[in-house]
Structure 1
Amino acid sequence: MNNFPVANQITIPEAVKRAYAHWNAGQAPQAEQLANQVLQVVPHHPDALHLLGLMAHAYNKPDLALDYLRRACMLSTAPAAYCSNLAEICRQRGLLEEAEKNARRAVAQEPQMTAGWNNLGIILQESGKFDASLECLQRVVALQPDNHEAHNNLANTCKLLGRLEEAQASYRQALALHPNYAEAHSNLAFLLCEQGRFDEAAAAAEMAIELNPHLADAYLNLAEIEMSRLRHDDALQRLNSLMAFAPQHAGALAARAQLLIKTERYQDALTCAHEAVRVAPDSARAHNVLGRALQALDQHEQALESFERAATLPGTVMEEAMVSRATLLMEMGDQDAAIAAFDHAMEKFPGSMRVMMARTDSKKYRSGDPDIALMEDALAQAVKPSISDQVGLHFALGKAYLDTDNSERAFYHLDQGNAIKRSVMVYDANQTRQWMRHIAASFTPALADRFKHAGAASERPVFIIGMPRSGTTLVEQILASHADIAGAGELSALRFAVEARGRFPDDLARWNDDDFARVGEDYLSRTSSLAPDALRLVDKMPANFLYAGLIPLILSGARIIHCRRDPVDTCLSCYSKNFSSEQLFAYRQDELGAFYRDYQALMDSLRNVLPADRFIEIDYESVVDDLETQARRLINFVGLPWDDACLDFHHTRRVVRTASVSQVRQPIYTTSKGRWRRHAAYLGPLLTALGIQSASSDTSGQA
């Protein structure tokens, strides 16, 4: 039937034509009425269904839009443009397989349709099929060389392929064609951030926001830039600005959760990540950041599930999620499963630098290891990897060459990696020295005596303090092997409890008994849910040495174990580790040595005020030489009966989330004692800063 069964009949084609005319003229009610009248006569009319689909999409009714467009494309004769539009709606809903199918159908029907090729290129890009995406988008640029959006889309794929110079050229071309193209400014900002050009990146993102104050990606990119510069407060401010007009933006929620993880506000991060998943249940990024939040809170099985879910969803997060899962398995002590997971990730992403860097700590390199050549080649390319990948590759190669006893190549890469990382950090060694001296001066014998009974009374907390890489993880693992002791890892609870009461140590002079007690109670409250049945809870945050003088005054029953190790071995181990946390002092040999001397001076001062029955010092070398004597000493110190499991600490199944994760899964070994002497020729600035004049000098004067 081609006519309406009413007076003043018009043909179906004329009705459809009028409906589209009404829609284009902004007369939506008339357009919808005519389209529905057409469907009453011809229930599967593709043109009417297509129009209603466009209208539903415009009025933010995605499910209805998807239904109409699917029905419009049911017939094999459906126009290519309809299939392309359906593909775009599917992409926006995260249905990437269906999107690709319809986009390919569109360009097969109409090979010269640039919009179809553009849609397909973006779909392939979001599916992680970057080479195929590149081919599509190059075709679009060839068909429409003056299309600024096409150049921007091509640049996005080039960036994902690591072809950063080509990406930058395409972004610049997009901006040359359209200087006020906010999206290109925003995308260029992200690229410049990956190249470590943070000031230029921030300027580009600010320009994007000025041009389009509601461009969400620009705020996300600016927040990422500030996080890369360790300006976490500024990053949070940018995310708050975005969420002021888009409070349920999944990307903003995921980015906020990531920032909260970085600042160790794990419970808040978990809440935020759950909200991101609720808003976007098919978002791989949301599930991945949820996994990271769960991991930080020791909810390991749930974290594995989130990483696995993220790895099965389409998009560009699969590789990261697979690496996160493998890394968590390694932290959980399941070495075989971790290695298998890394291998699976490498099979899925052959030659992946991300996988190679992540599995560095799970293996001991030997000469000729193919990973070494691949990582060297990646750094030798004319087009450099992103700044974070450059850092990771240099540290991974430094570790590989240390394993193979090639000091020259090891320190070439360690010096490069540390220099790049140091260049993006703000650190004042003199200010740090003055702060430590202020702490030392604040804890006098008079203060210690006056408030020695003020703190909350609990024998549960055990603090392991010292420099990073000084044996703190080893000591924790020995203790945590005891049936009545739980190792909690590196907690920020003490720092948060202290900071909640004011400036440290400035405000100490104004505190009374109640103030000290409240800080202790705050700490106990923050840790009460951790292993509640354990008689002792070990907090091995090394940097708590800054609060060592305070601990007996806020927690009168707490015990403190100070780990010490050869100064040069300690500093070399720090210098060779790409810390995930912010050890700002560790990335220049002279600053590292100066920090060690300042730490040493602080501990020398605090040793005079710490109660002898609540404070012991243990040397890493002594543990290595005589494990049983030192282990028994530790267990006796924490006031518990001996447990033979403490001698088999490397068999203890618990999560270890530190740079020493692989070492504590092995029996005691002595190869790390005095290892710095093999590399002394490359440690000049460090040795000078430590006051050691030659490789043969005695280093027994350790902290």
Structure 2
Amino acid sequence: MASPPSQQTLSVQDALGRAYGHWNAGQADQAEQWCQRVLAAWPGQADAMHLLGLMAHAYGNLDLAISHLRQACMAPRAPAVYSSNLAEMYRQKGMLAEGEEAAQRAVSMDPSLVSAWSNLGILLQESGKLERSLECLQRVVALTPEAPETHNNLGNTWRLLNRLDQAEPSYRKALELNPSYAEAHSNLAFLLSSQGRYDNAYAHAQRAIELSPRLIDAYLNLAEVEMSRERYSEVLRALDMLNAFAPQHPAALSARAKALKQLERAEEALPFARRAVALMPRSADAHSTLASVLAHLGQTEEALASAERAAKLPGTKAEEATVSRGTMLLEAGRKEEALTAFEEALVVFPNSMQIRIARIEARSVESGDDADIAALEGCVAEGDRRTQSDLLSARFALGKAYLDIKNPERAFHHLNIGNRTKRTAIQFDARQTERWMMDVLDACSPERMATLSGLGTPGSMPIFIVGMPRSGTTLIEQILSSHPQVTGAGELAALRLTVESAGAFPASLRSLTRESASVLLPKMGQDYLKRVAPLAQGRPYLVDKMPGNFLYAGLIPLILPGARIIHSRRDAVDTCLSCYTKLFGGSQPFAYDLAELGIFYRLYERMMDHWRKVLPADSLIEVDYEAVVDDIETEARRMIEFLGLPWDDACLEFHKNRRVVRTASVNQVRQPIYKSSKGRWTAYASYLEPLLAELGISKQ
């Protein structure tokens, strides 16, 4: 072991040489001692401060590293590389403006310094200044064409510019130059995931982890792949691996919060989201994640404030945050504010397809000359240069816009392409689904239901609205939630998650004896109530309007005796047509093929026929959408009476209810009852032949 510095006289350069020698040999303590000896003789000496900064960074003390490097850069003859390194430290801290200034200073001091141009390009990239980033990184590639890192960095900017046709070759060039380049594998995984090429994306993310087990972005990109596939438990598994060595990484905390929210564990997600913001207060992504969790918990004003902060911060997530804020305003019934927010955002992000799509969804398009239509037509014309997310969303938005202006030919052109594209990205087997659904009915026979009745957790809080998506469930929820004793919680995954946590369904139900059921069924009821109770906002009744809960309707009275179920019905073709025109946020795998829609609708009808026979008579009521449209007061009074609540006239003024609505029907429920959607399908019958054939309905 080397002895500490002696008292012999050494020049500053000799002492610095020894400090760097020890540092390069992995002897940090000795290196620091030599640096301190230099500083004792020459306070603030730039080279010693620079080395101490690098050491502090290596040991994870970013604030101290920035402090040391900032002081080093103040020296009159400090080399450009010091400013370049300071720029990178600022970037890692999320101080993008300061980082850009330091990197710009570095390239001005030494235009030949490749690392400075690279750092400047990456800072501009993360600040959303993508055209300038592109110039910098193309310069770096020209200077060092054989360096895989340069192609990888350039690929990141191409991707953010939505030039996927250029991004992928850049990543692959990096891997051609260095097949073991973990960062390039990781970035390629993210790109492939955005294109819906999930299996390939997963393989590259895993390869990145194999090559560099402590590469944080690789775990985050693996989590992103699984998030895109809606495999939220696998998201948490990837983040658990990351947590083993980076438990306080802000992006990992945000990703965990997002996954927990999707798993209806928003209260559990909130501390992770808040911690991410505390660690990275200038991260748009952290604030945006916090906003989404708060919104899910019904804390709308704080959510809007977080979204607004995210939208004002630099970085590539600011665009997403502006859309999120506008959407929250729309969901809260503040449509004019939302449209204004989208308009203002378009000034900042004139090429944003997300904003164009949000604007089309928020209003009725009146003319084929609409600027948003033209922009989205341009987007889809770019093809694979765009992300799959942009292309899919644009197709469905164009379908909606052309239906608004009564141009069904163009509408179904886009809807058919969008639905086919979405269908290829999901797994759905109609016959396998039929077998499972019939298995559920067999497990919920009248005899079995009678054997297991009366064992669950009593309580009348939950009101379930079930049926097909787009069958009027949101309208019914809006009417009920206008009552002062009822909170509308929207579409919750809580029941499905409760069922899944109890074992494979319906086998788990079929294997129960009354003795084992007396333990499991109350536990499931308590599990469900624990998930939803925070959303009730202190009111005695909560509406869970997840339409797909019709699949588990037989379980509801077993685990929650006292709960009420409202079955929302609507004309079969109108329902399926409305499904076909929507790109659902959640999982509706049957909705993207007209024939499969018809098959699934018939299966749904068979299930509901069964539930009518086996559910307790006082637990189920059926409400027809058309009947509500024709006579809202009669149907509203019938539902309120079914729930055992006193009548309140507010139920007839449902369109004035300012609660948050997070479904594709958000615009409709802000208007008084209208009848234009009754029999809507007849105008489009010629485009619906596969659906009509499965439903056994003629085109008329």
TM-score, L = length of structure 1: 0.93
Deviations 1:133-167 (A, max 9, x none): 11111111112222221111111111111111211
| 1:145 alignment partner in structure 2 | 145
Q: Measured at CA, do residues 278 and 553 of structure 1 come closer, stay the same or move farther in structure 2, by a change above 3 Å?
A: same
SS at match of 2:565: strand
Contact 2:298 2:535 in 1 (8 A): no
Does 603-612 or 519-528 show the bigger shift?
519-528
Deviations 1:499-529 (A, max 9, x none): 4444433333424262544444443444344
Aligned residues: 690
Does 511-520 or 665-674 show the bigger shift?
511-520
Read off the aligned partner of 1:293 and give its amino acid letter: V
Contact 1:222 1:238 in 2 (8 A): yes
Contact 1:83 1:103 in 2 (8 A): yes
The equivalent position to 1:582 in structure 2, one of 581, 584, 587, is: 587
| 1:695 alignment partner in structure 2 | 699
SS at match of 1:162: coil
Residues in 2 aligned to 1:500 and 1:442: alpha-carbon distance in whole angstroms: 18
Equivalences for residues 435-584 of structure 1 within 5 A: 435-509=436-510, 510-512=512-514, 514=518, 515-531=520-536, 533-584=538-589
| 2:214 alignment partner in structure 1 | 214
Contact 2:392 2:422 in 1 (8 A): yes
Residues in 2 aligned to 1:299 and 1:236: alpha-carbon distance in whole angstroms: 25
Deviations 1:276-320 (A, max 9, x none): 334444433222222222222222222223222322333211111
Read off the aligned partner of 2:109 and give its amino acid letter: Q
| 1:187 alignment partner in structure 2 | 187
Equivalences for residues 593-612 of structure 1 within 5 A: 593-612=598-617
Q: Structure 2: where are the runs of 5+ without partners?
A: 1-5
| 1:348 alignment partner in structure 2 | 348
Contact 2:287 2:306 in 1 (8 A): yes
Does 74-83 or 471-480 show the bigger shift?
74-83
| 1:614 alignment partner in structure 2 | 619
Residues in 1 aligned to 2:152 and 2:337: alpha-carbon distance in whole angstroms: 41
Read off the aligned partner of 1:695 and give its amino acid letter: K
Residues in 2 aligned to 1:346 and 1:632: alpha-carbon distance in whole angstroms: 45
Q: Measured at CA, do residues 9 and 613 of structure 1 come closer, stay the same or move farther in structure 2, by a change above 3 Å?
A: closer
Identity fraction in percent: 57
Q: Structure 1: where are the runs of 5+ without partners?
A: 1-5, 697-703
Q: Measured at CA, do residues 580 and 532 of structure 1 come closer, stay the same or move farther in structure 2, by a change above 3 Å?
A: closer
Equivalences for residues 192-341 of structure 1 within 5 A: 192-341=192-341
| 1:116 alignment partner in structure 2 | 116
Residues in 2 aligned to 1:111 and 1:529: alpha-carbon distance in whole angstroms: 58
SS at match of 2:543: strand
Contact 1:399 1:410 in 2 (8 A): yes
SS at match of 1:465: strand
| 1:49 alignment partner in structure 2 | 49
Contact 1:230 1:425 in 2 (8 A): no
Q: Measured at CA, do residues 525 and 203 of structure 1 come closer, stay the same or move farther in structure 2, by a change above 3 Å?
A: closer
Does 456-465 or 645-654 show the bigger shift?
456-465
| 2:405 alignment partner in structure 1 | 404
| 1:701 alignment partner in structure 2 | none
Read off the aligned partner of 1:564 and give its amino acid letter: R
The structural deviation recorded for 1:30 is 4.9
Residues in 1 aligned to 2:646 and 2:77: alpha-carbon distance in whole angstroms: 82
Read off the aligned partner of 1:671 and give its amino acid letter: S
Residues in 2 aligned to 1:397 and 1:125: alpha-carbon distance in whole angstroms: 30
Does 30-39 or 321-330 show the bigger shift?
30-39
Equivalences for residues 354-369 of structure 1 within 5 A: 354-367=354-367, 368-369=369-370
Q: Measured at CA, do residues 10 and 543 of structure 1 come closer, stay the same or move farther in structure 2, by a change above 3 Å?
A: closer
1:129 pairs with 2:133: no
Contact 1:229 1:424 in 2 (8 A): no
The structural deviation recorded for 1:62 is 2.3
| 2:426 alignment partner in structure 1 | 425
Does 590-599 or 13-22 show the bigger shift?
13-22
TM-score, L = length of structure 2: 0.93
Residues in 1 aligned to 2:156 and 2:294: alpha-carbon distance in whole angstroms: 31
The structural deviation recorded for 1:557 is 2.5
The structural deviation recorded for 1:569 is 0.4
Residues in 2 aligned to 1:660 and 1:41: alpha-carbon distance in whole angstroms: 72
Q: Measured at CA, do residues 61 and 481 of structure 1 come closer, stay the same or move farther in structure 2, by a change above 3 Å?
A: closer
Q: Measured at CA, do residues 211 and 565 of structure 1 come closer, stay the same or move farther in structure 2, by a change above 3 Å?
A: same
Q: Measured at CA, do residues 446 and 14 of structure 1 come closer, stay the same or move farther in structure 2, by a change above 3 Å?
A: closer
| 2:67 alignment partner in structure 1 | 67
Does 395-404 or 343-352 show the bigger shift?
343-352
Deviations 1:609-662 (A, max 9, x none): 233333221111111111122122222222222211111110011111111111
The structural deviation recorded for 1:57 is 2.5
Q: Measured at CA, do residues 175 and 626 of structure 1 come closer, stay the same or move farther in structure 2, by a change above 3 Å?
A: same
The structural deviation recorded for 1:459 is 3.4
The structural deviation recorded for 1:449 is 4.4
Q: Measured at CA, do residues 528 and 134 of structure 1 come closer, stay the same or move farther in structure 2, by a change above 3 Å?
A: closer
Q: Measured at CA, do residues 433 and 374 of structure 1 come closer, stay the same or move farther in structure 2, by a change above 3 Å?
A: same
SS at match of 1:252: helix
Contact 1:490 1:539 in 2 (8 A): yes
Q: Measured at CA, do residues 64 and 240 of structure 1 come closer, stay the same or move farther in structure 2, by a change above 3 Å?
A: closer
Q: Measured at CA, do residues 567 and 314 of structure 1 come closer, stay the same or move farther in structure 2, by a change above 3 Å?
A: same
Contact 1:326 1:338 in 2 (8 A): yes
Q: Measured at CA, do residues 452 and 58 of structure 1 come closer, stay the same or move farther in structure 2, by a change above 3 Å?
A: closer
| 1:626 alignment partner in structure 2 | 631
SS at match of 1:206: helix
Does 375-384 or 491-500 show the bigger shift?
491-500
Read off the aligned partner of 1:113 and give its amino acid letter: L
Q: Measured at CA, do residues 197 and 535 of structure 1 come closer, stay the same or move farther in structure 2, by a change above 3 Å?
A: closer
Does 339-348 or 301-310 show the bigger shift?
301-310
The structural deviation recorded for 1:11 is 4.5
Deviations 1:540-592 (A, max 9, x none): 12112122233333333322211110000001111111111101111111111
Does 552-561 or 595-604 show the bigger shift?
552-561
Q: Measured at CA, do residues 690 and 97 of structure 1 come closer, stay the same or move farther in structure 2, by a change above 3 Å?
A: same
Q: Measured at CA, do residues 371 and 532 of structure 1 come closer, stay the same or move farther in structure 2, by a change above 3 Å?
A: closer
| 2:3 alignment partner in structure 1 | none
Does 619-628 or 483-492 show the bigger shift?
483-492
SS at match of 2:180: coil
Residues in 2 aligned to 1:16 and 1:456: alpha-carbon distance in whole angstroms: 73
Deviations 1:211-231 (A, max 9, x none): 222222222222222332334
Q: Measured at CA, do residues 10 and 449 of structure 1 come closer, stay the same or move farther in structure 2, by a change above 3 Å?
A: closer
Contact 2:297 2:535 in 1 (8 A): no
Read off the aligned partner of 1:315 and give its amino acid letter: G
| 1:58 alignment partner in structure 2 | 58
Q: Measured at CA, do residues 91 and 564 of structure 1 come closer, stay the same or move farther in structure 2, by a change above 3 Å?
A: same
Does 100-109 or 182-191 show the bigger shift?
182-191
Read off the aligned partner of 2:188 and give its amino acid letter: L
SS at match of 1:607: helix
Q: Write out the 4+ residue segments of structure 1 that deviate beyond 6 Å after TM superposition.
A: none
Deviations 1:47-99 (A, max 9, x none): 33223323333333322222221112124432211211211221122111111
Residues in 2 aligned to 1:645 and 1:541: alpha-carbon distance in whole angstroms: 23
SS at match of 2:487: strand
Read off the aligned partner of 1:550 and give its amino acid letter: L
Read off the aligned partner of 2:426 and give its amino acid letter: M
Q: Measured at CA, do residues 529 and 176 of structure 1 come closer, stay the same or move farther in structure 2, by a change above 3 Å?
A: closer
Contact 1:284 1:313 in 2 (8 A): yes
| 2:665 alignment partner in structure 1 | 660
Q: Measured at CA, do residues 263 and 213 of structure 1 come closer, stay the same or move farther in structure 2, by a change above 3 Å?
A: same
Q: Measured at CA, do residues 499 and 114 of structure 1 come closer, stay the same or move farther in structure 2, by a change above 3 Å?
A: closer
| 1:3 alignment partner in structure 2 | none
Contact 2:254 2:273 in 1 (8 A): yes
Residues in 2 aligned to 1:27 and 1:602: alpha-carbon distance in whole angstroms: 71
SS at match of 1:137: helix
Q: Measured at CA, do residues 8 and 103 of structure 1 come closer, stay the same or move farther in structure 2, by a change above 3 Å?
A: same
